[in-house]
């Protein structure tokens, strides 16, 4: 029996970690694999999955970051020391460790974000090293493949594969069987961090509550929690905004609300958008990275420029005032997920990828 080792060194509850948990569960359930899950994750796992706690790597450059990285490499090497395993390195920080791990394993990196933004030269060099020492690097969108493969020789470019994220749109993320909330309700779900645009959403929402009665559900935890609570209190939005904290089962909110909003400044391919679409919610998000591969303006939602709060207010107000159109957009969004982003399609992609190792 082949061993599949899934490595996650994220130190928060990003969608990338949830993706890896889904991969672990499906491979231990449907395929003939022994699965190890290396993470600090608190998610509940299938008992057949061996959970191996490892130390994570922080985000800020410092001497402690170097120490954390060395500890993390040691933990991973210990877990894969027997060799002959398929080792999935989830996210760029895990991918960059490939050159320092035993060569007796086959490494597959999963790249959720592009190499744009801060420190692009360092990221490019680290990515090339990871690509050299990995069997493949999987990206989650055509956009990522274009950016990552730019200027590469063919033998490296061929190592970059696209496998879209997939969700359970037949049992978990499904349209509601009962009526949604009486009041038109927007929802945002994800880590409360600045790049997700929560403060922009709050400002835009506060601009429309006097024009159309609606509510906002905020699902997630993170560094912005107190800022969000303060904004809600100062702007007298307590009767309109509900803050729910971290919730593992976000689908219950998607089935009660009417539209999903994610005004991010930077993203990969947000799982939360796919999950909301599967529950027949129209989506308002930003035209960054891979999001335009999912959202077609006017068909299943709207796209805005990052930071454009006026545009965001206009689209939110439009959906509140046109609930029938919002529902039609939601139905169209579910069809897109069914055709391109189902968990069955994702698993088939990884199964084909791993066949060459077996």
pLDDT computed for residue 178 by the predictor: 84
Q: Mean pLDDT, to the nearest integer, of 41-48?
A: 79
Residue 25 sits at the vertex; the CA angle it makes with 163 and 73, to the nearest 5 degrees, is 75
DSSP code per residue over 9-54: --SS--HHHHHHHHHHHHHHHHSSEEEEEES---S---TTSEEE--
Q: Is the pLDDT of residue 12 over 60?
A: no
Torsion sign (Cα): 57, 200, 243, 188: negative
In this structure, what token pair is assigned to residue 166? 């997939």
Residue 89: name the closest of 67, 115, 105, 107 by CA.
107
pLDDT computed for residue 169 by the predictor: 93
In this structure, what token pair is assigned to residue 308? 């454009």
Distant-in-sequence, close-in-space partners of 192: CB < 8 Å, separation ≥ 6: 198, 218, 220, 221, 222, 223, 224, 225, 228
Assign domain 185-340 to its CATH architecture.
3-Layer(aba) Sandwich (3.40)
pLDDT computed for residue 45 by the predictor: 84
- Report the distance separating Cα 93 and Cα 105, nearest Å: 19
Q: Is the pLDDT of residue 111 over 90?
A: no
Residue 240: name the closest of 201, 185, 180, 283 by CA.
185
In this structure, what token pair is assigned to residue 261? 């909003």
Q: How does 269-279 read in b/e, with b if 16+ C-beta sit within 10 Å? A: bbbbbbbbbbb
Distant-in-sequence, close-in-space partners of 77: CB < 8 Å, separation ≥ 6: 100, 101, 102
Residue 330: name the closest of 175, 136, 135, 165 by CA.
175
Other CB atoms within 10 Å distance of the CB of residue 353: 16
Q: Do 250 and 266 form a contact (C-beta atoms < 8 A)? A: no
Q: Mean pLDDT, to the nearest integer, of 266-277?
A: 92
pLDDT computed for residue 119 by the predictor: 67
Q: Mean pLDDT, to the nearest integer, of 19-38?
A: 83
Judged by average pLDDT, the poorest of 23-32, 68-77, 153-162, 231-240 is: 23-32
Confidence grade of residue 121 (pLDDT, cut at 50, 70, 90): confident
- Name the segment(s) of the chain with CATH classification 3.40.50.2000: 2-166+342-355, 185-340
Q: What is the mean pLDDT of the chain?
A: 90
Judged by average pLDDT, the poorest of 42-46, 56-60, 301-305 is: 56-60
pLDDT computed for residue 66 by the predictor: 83
Strands 185-189 and 160-162: unpaired
Maximum average pLDDT range among 76-80, 148-152, 334-338: 334-338
Confidence grade of residue 292 (pLDDT, cut at 50, 70, 90): very high
Q: Mean pLDDT, to the nearest integer, of 180-190?
A: 95
Name the phi and psi angles at 159, rounded to 5. Answer: -80, -15
- Report the distance separating Cα 42 and Cα 47, nearest Å: 14
Which residues partner with 136 through β-bridges? 108
Q: Do 93 and 71 form a contact (C-beta atoms < 8 A)? A: no
pLDDT computed for residue 312 by the predictor: 98
Q: Is the pLDDT of residue 320 over 80?
A: yes
Q: What does the pLDDT look like over 134-173, one tens digit per residue?
A: 999 999 999 999 989 999 999 999 999 999 999 999 999 9
- Report the distance separating Cα 241 and Cα 261, nearest Å: 14
Judged by average pLDDT, the poorest of 28-37, 246-255, 332-341 is: 28-37
Which class does domain 2-166+342-355 fall in? Answer: alpha beta
Query: Has this prediction a pTM greater than 0.85?
Result: yes
Q: How does 164-182 read in b/e, with b if 16+ C-beta sit within 10 Å? A: bbbbbbeeebbeeeeebee
CA distances (Å), 14 to each of 57, 159, 336, in order?
14, 26, 23
- Report the distance separating Cα 325 and Cα 321, nearest Å: 9
Q: Do 16 and 139 form a contact (C-beta atoms < 8 A)? A: no
Higher pLDDT, 121 or 172: 172
pLDDT computed for residue 30 by the predictor: 65
Q: How does 84-109 read in b/e, with b if 16+ C-beta sit within 10 Å? A: ebbbbbbbbbbbbbbeebeeebbbbb
Q: Is the pLDDT of residue 185 over 90?
A: yes
Judged by average pLDDT, the poorest of 40-54, 144-158, 168-182, 273-287 is: 40-54
């Amino acid at each position: 029996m082949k061993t599949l080792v899934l490595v996650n060194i994220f130190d928060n509850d990003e969608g990338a970690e949830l993706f890896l948990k889904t991969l672990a569960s499906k491979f231990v359930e449907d395929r003939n694999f022994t699965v190890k899950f290396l993470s600090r994750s608190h998610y509940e796992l299938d008992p057949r999955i061996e959970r191996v706690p490892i130390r994570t790597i922080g985000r800020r450059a410092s001497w402690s970051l170097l120490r954390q990285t060395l500890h993390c490499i040691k933990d991973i090497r210990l877990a894969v020391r027997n060799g002959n395993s398929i080792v999935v390195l989830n996210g760029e920080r895990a991918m960059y460790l490939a050159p320092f791990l035993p060569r007796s394993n086959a490494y597959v990196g999963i790249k959720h974000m592009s190499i744009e933004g801060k420190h692009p030269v360092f990221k490019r060099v680290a990515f090339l090293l990871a690509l050299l020492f990995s069997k493949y690097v999987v990206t989650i969108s055509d956009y990522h493949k274009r950016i990552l493969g730019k200027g590469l020789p063919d033998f490296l470019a061929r190592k970059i594969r696209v496998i879209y994220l997939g969700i359970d749109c037949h049992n978990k993320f499904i349209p509601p069987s009962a009526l949604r909330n009486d009041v038109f309700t927007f929802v945002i779900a994800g880590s409360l961090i600045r790049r997700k645009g929560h403060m922009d959403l709050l400002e835009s929402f506060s601009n429309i509550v006097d024009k159309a009665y609606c509510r906002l559900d905020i699902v997630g935890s993170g560094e912005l929690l107190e800022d969000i609570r303060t904004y809600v209190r100062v702007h007298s939005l307590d009767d309109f905004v509900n803050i729910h904290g971290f919730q593992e089962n976000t689908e219950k909110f998607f089935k009660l609300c009417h539209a999903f909003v994610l005004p991010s400044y930077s993203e990969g391919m947000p799982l939360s958008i796919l999950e909301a679409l599967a529950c027949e919610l129209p989506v308002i998000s930003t035209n960054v990275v891979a999001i335009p591969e999912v959202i077609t303006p006017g068909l299943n939602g709207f796209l805005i420029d990052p930071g454009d709060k006026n545009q965001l207010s206009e689209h939110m107000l439009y959906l509140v005032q046109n609930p029938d159109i919002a529902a039609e957009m939601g139905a169209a969004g579910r069809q897109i997920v069914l055709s391109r982003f189902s968990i069955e399609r994702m698993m088939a992609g990884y199964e084909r990828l791993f066949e060459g190792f077996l």
